[in-house]
Homo-oligomer: A and B are copies of this chain.
Amino acid sequence: MVVRAAVAGASGYAGGELLRLLLAHPQVEIGALTGNSNAGQAFGSLQPHLGPLAGRTLEATTAEVLAGHDVVFLALPHGQSAAVAAELGPDVLVVDMGADHRLKDPADWDAFYGAPHAGTWPYGLPELPGGRAALEGSKRVAVPGCFPTAVSLALFPAYAARLAEPEAVIVAATGTSGAGKALKTHLLGSEVMGSASPYGVGGVHRHTPEMVQNLSPVAGQRVSVSFTPVLAPMSRGILATCSAKALPGTTAEALRAAYEKAYADEPFVRLLPEGQWPATASVLGSNTVQVQVALDTAAQRIVAISAVDNLAKGTAGAAVQSMNIALGLPETLGLPLTGTAP
């Protein structure tokens, strides 16, 4: 089977990473590459690291250009994907790497985005309980946000095993590519190199309700999330330090067992040996998530830490993994397990 894929938003960071992965996918043929502000430009000047596509030209994002593909990936600003998907019809697999279809509760959407809600699509995090089944055969996929992926995979085993109180505190260091190829002063190299700085502090980051949405069903009750992202001087990577108060009687052994059980059969989650902690460099460019957990007996808190590449498993890798499941291909097909380090 050859899967013919189009990418809308191909000149950005998420689109570029997706194409890097698709080029290595043995059953994908890359079709249309589209964008808006850069339409008409040589693709080799927009994504100089993607040599095999250097001879292509970026086309405008229109229904005509996107037609005739088996799968269309959307890496668009929020609010645009529903209209594009409607034009593509119900038989084309549409994988939305943006935020439009992730949230189930329209009130969350209103509070954090303030635009009409476009509806919910099956959620591309197969490692969550029930996650895989929701994607099989689906023609629509909402790729998770990068932070919710890192946080949900760090914490859900503790909630699934009923070991943690439903108040999670998360601080996540992130590389700058998570903000996209956006011309903003605080994203300039001169500003970010040598500096760590928070943003979206105090419960206002748009990924917060998605974390609540992922963890609450697992916990069997509403989990509150205090989330602080910290911009770190690196291009890629999220290191999510997540903690919650341990329920009385929680032991280190029970905690370890909960994580071992959750990830025994997951190809892309690597629970590290005890004493070894995740590092973002170890997962750079890969679809792997590194996870480790410890019990702080003095503070009575569970501390769970994950490392993901925000562009790979955090976005484009999850998109390909979801496509594989939706199309009935082997889930791991074409996805790198190894990081590019040092």
Could you list which residues of chain A lie within 8 angstroms of chain B, going by C-beta atoms? 13, 16, 20, 23-24, 42, 44-45, 47-52, 54, 167, 169, 171, 173, 175-177, 179, 181-185, 187-199, 201-203, 208, 224-226, 228, 230, 232-237, 239, 241, 243, 245, 270, 272-273, 276-286, 288, 290, 292, 294-301, 303, 305, 307, 336-342
Contact = CB atoms under 8 A, between A and B. Distances in A.
Contacts of A51: 270, 286, 288, 337-339
Given A185-B181, A190-B342, A224-B299, A197 B49 contact: no
Contact of A342 (B177, B183, B243, B283): B177
A196 B226 contact: no
Given A232-B233, A281-B194, A338-B20, A42 B273 contact: yes
A338 B52 contact: yes
A111 to B, nearest CB: 9
A287 B10 CA distance: 23
B184 A284 contact: no
A300 B168 CA distance: 11
A189 B193 contact: yes
A144 to B, nearest CB: 20
A183 B181 contact: no
18 contacts: A45-B276, A48-B282, A49-B286, A50-B339, A171-B171, A177-B190, A193-B194, A194-B237, A195-B279, A197-B277, A197-B278, A202-B294, A203-B296, A208-B298, A226-B296, A226-B301, A232-B232, A235-B281
Question: A50, A195, A208 — which one has the most chain B CB atoms within 10 A of its CB?
Answer: A195
B277 A49 contact: no
Nearest to A340: B285
Contact of A181 (B188, B241, B272, B301): B188
A337 to B, nearest CB: 5
A237 B20 contact: no
Nearest to A268: B51
A6 to B, nearest CB: 19
A198 to B, nearest CB: 5
Contacts of A203: 296-299
Contacts of A234: 193-196, 232-233
A14 B257 CA distance: 36
Contacts of A187: 188-190
B24 A194 contact: no
B226 A299 contact: yes
Contacts of A24: 336, 338
Contacts of A173: 173, 196, 230, 232
Contacts of A48: 272, 276, 279, 282, 290, 341
A340 B177 contact: no
B237 A195 contact: yes
